[in-house]
């Protein structure tokens, strides 16, 4: 798997640097390598189906929401790692995209707490 990707990247680089050569050498086209793509597709569909199953068999609540969020993160991982090819990029690129997203997590914690506080103060005010 790893080797295959390497080869692909190399051929892409070659295409970059030897534009003319490649243009004249397009006679042979390699066979498609789509196994990993379809596997990811099956995983994404399976997780989505599971989410629907849970939505109609489990009562709403914190536990169900937690399951939904975990499954969503799983789906996000497969889309970013496989479809967007993040798994095969350099670690530097990966972390420079992922680390700033911690700010989103902070915003979420802060604003959800803020919303709950607002609701509490309104309900207690009118009680």
Q: Interface with other proteins by CB under 8 A: which residues?
A: 8, 11-12, 15-20, 22-23, 26, 29-30, 32-34, 37-38, 40-41, 44-45, 48, 51-52, 55-56, 60, 65, 68-69, 71-72, 75-76, 79-80, 82-84, 89-90, 92-93, 96-97, 100-101, 103-104, 107-108, 111-112, 114-116, 118-119, 122-123
User: What is the residue-wise DSSP string for the chain?
Assistant: -HHHHHHHHHHHHHHHH-HHHHHHTTT--PPP--HHHHHHHHHHHHHHHHHHHHHHHS-SSHHHHHHHHHHHHHHHHHIIIIIS-GGGS-HHHHHHHHGGGHHHHHHHHHHHHHHHHHHHHHHHHH-
Minimum Å gap between C-beta 72 and other proteins is: 4
Minimum Å gap between C-beta 83 and other proteins is: 5
- Between 2 and 26, name the residue whose CB sits nearer to other proteins: 26
- Between 123 and 125, name the residue whose CB sits nearer to other proteins: 123
Please, are residues 45 and 79 in contact by the beta-carbon 8 Å criterion?
no
- Between 3 and 104, name the residue whose CB sits nearer to other proteins: 104
């Amino acid at each position: 798997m790893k080797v295959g990707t390497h080869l692909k990247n190399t051929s892409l680089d070659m295409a970059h640097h030897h534009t003319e050569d490649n243009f004249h050498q397009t006679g042979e086209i390699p066979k498609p390598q789509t196994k990993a793509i379809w596997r990811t597709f099956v995983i994404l569909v399976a997780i989505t189906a599971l989410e629907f199953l849970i939505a109609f068999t489990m009562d709403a609540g914190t536990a169900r929401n937690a399951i939904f969020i975990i499954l969503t993160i799983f789906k996000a991982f497969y889309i970013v790692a496989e479809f967007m090819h993040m798994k095969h990029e350099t670690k530097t690129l990966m972390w420079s995209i992922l680390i700033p997203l911690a700010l989103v997590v902070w915003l979420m914690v802060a604003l959800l707490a803020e919303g709950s506080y607002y609701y509490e103060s309104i309900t207690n005010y009118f009680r």
